[in-house]
Structure formats: C-alpha cells, structure tokens
C-alpha cells in the first residue's frame, strides 16, 4: 500500500548499521518496528562500497565537512548493513521516534539508541570514530523517497496485508 495523495501511509528507509549487526541487535531492533505496526516491504543485506556510500551520503561532506564524511564512510564500510523499507501510518516520524536522537547519549530510554547505545558527539571527536548509533532512518519524505529508490528496485518492494493492517489502516 504505497502512499497516495492524502493517505498517511508512508514508506521509509532504515539501515541497521554494522554496529547493530556485530552486536547481534538486528532482531531486537526490527521487533520494535513491527510492534509499532510498521510493515517490512523490502529487505536486503549489503556491504557498502565507496561508490555506494558516496551515493547514499551524497550531501554529508557538504553539510558537515570532509572529516565527518570520511569517518562515516569508513564506519559504514566496515561490515554489512541490513536495509529495510518500512511502511505504515506516518512511518517516517514513527521510525524517527522509535530510534531516538542521532546522538545516543541524548536519546531517551525506550528508544533504540537510548536503550542500546551511549555514544556521544564528544566521544566521536575524541576517538576519531563515527557515532556508533546502530541505525540510519530517513529524515523526511523527500529523503525517504530518494533513499528507497537508491537501495531498492520497484520489483524488490512487496505489497501484502498484515493482520495488524486489518485493525490499524
């Protein structure tokens, strides 16, 4: 059920970053999305190479500088990521609420980052490493559409009904 004009059902991209995978948190994180009645309509595991990382973070260097891009790029290429397309009512805002603040030390308890990470901007600067914050989540509708199209071909996205949809949509 892709988003139509006036329909609050949206699709958004979530990446479970290498730190989520090596810590064995993928299932626990995905469960939180499913418990919020978000439906998985696309999933894949991928190693990000330099070219794909540049395409995904196309404006990061411009926004935050070359050092932030370098550290983020290195971090994202150190292991595989799991890419998910989630669908549901106000999916973008819902996912952002579930994952919490970009900096885990500022994320409230009950969020993915607040419960499973503690990293801070200061820690990142001091260590010269990326903020290990477990997930990437699209920030707005434009970004979600662009990221979903980058990561998934249309035929890789599924349309099906969940039991939760019978009661929530």
- For 72-100, what is each residue's pLDDT tens digit? 999 999 999 999 999 999 999 999 999 99
pLDDT band at 119; cut points 50, 70, 90: confident
pLDDT band at 167; cut points 50, 70, 90: confident
Query: Residues with Cβ < 8 Å from 108, sequence gap 6 or more?
Result: 100, 101, 114
- Residue 99's domain comprises 9-157
**In angstroms, rounded to a whole number, what is the distance separating the alpha carbons of residues 99 and 32?**
9
Report the domain count for the chain: 1
Residues facing 13 on adjacent strands: 85
Asked about 118 being catalytic, the answer comes back as no
CATH number of the domain within which 133 lies:
3.30.70.141
Residue 17: Cβ-neighbour burial (10 angstroms; 0-12, 13-18, 19+): buried
pLDDT number for residue 169: 66
Which of 17, 96, 113, 136 is flagged as catalytic? Answer: 136
**Other C-beta atoms within 10 Å of 116: how many?**
20
Q: Would you say residue 3 has pLDDT above 60?
A: no
Does residue 162 lie in a domain region? no
Residue recorded with tokens 């820690």 = 123
Instruction: For the chain, give the number of residues.
Output: 169
pLDDT band at 151; cut points 50, 70, 90: very high
* β-pairing verdict for 135-137 and 9-16: antiparallel
**In angstroms, rounded to a whole number, what is the distance separating the alpha carbons of residues 42 and 87?**
9
pTM of the model: 0.91
Does residue 4 lie in a domain region? no
Does residue 169 lie in a domain region? no
Query: Residues with Cβ < 8 Å from 47, sequence gap 6 or more?
Result: 77, 79, 80, 81
- Over range 50-65, report the average pLDDT: 93
Does residue 167 lie in a domain region? no
> Are 61 and 141 contacting, i.e. CB atoms less than 8 angstroms apart?
no
**In angstroms, rounded to a whole number, what is the distance separating the alpha carbons of residues 81 and 16?**
5
> Are 143 and 136 contacting, i.e. CB atoms less than 8 angstroms apart?
no
Residue recorded with tokens 């952002």 = 96
More confident residue, 166 or 42: 42
Q: Would you say residue 43 has pLDDT above 90?
A: yes
Does residue 145 lie in a domain region? yes
Does residue 131 lie in a domain region? yes
Does residue 58 lie in a domain region? yes
């Amino acid at each position: 059920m892709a988003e139509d004009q006036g329909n609050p059902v949206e699709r958004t991209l979530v990446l479970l970053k290498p730190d989520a995978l090596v810590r064995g948190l993928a299932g626990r994180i995905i469960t939180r999305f499913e418990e919020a009645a978000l439906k998985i309509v696309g999933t894949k595991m991928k190693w990000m190479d330099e070219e794909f990382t540049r395409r995904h973070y196309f404006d990061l260097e411009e926004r935050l500088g070359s050092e932030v891009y370098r550290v983020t790029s290195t971090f994202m290429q150190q292991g595989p990521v799991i890419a998910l397309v989630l669908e549901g009512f106000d999916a973008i805002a819902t996912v952002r609420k579930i994952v919490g603040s970009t900096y885990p030390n500022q994320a409230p308890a009950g969020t993915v980052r607040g419960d499973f990470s503690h990293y801070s901007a200061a820690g990142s600067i001091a260590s010269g490493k990326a903020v290990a914050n477990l997930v990437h989540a699209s920030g707005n509708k434009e970004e979600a559409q662009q990221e979903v199209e980058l990561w998934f071909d249309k035929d890789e996205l599924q349309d099906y009904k969940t039991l939760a949809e019978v009661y929530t949509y």
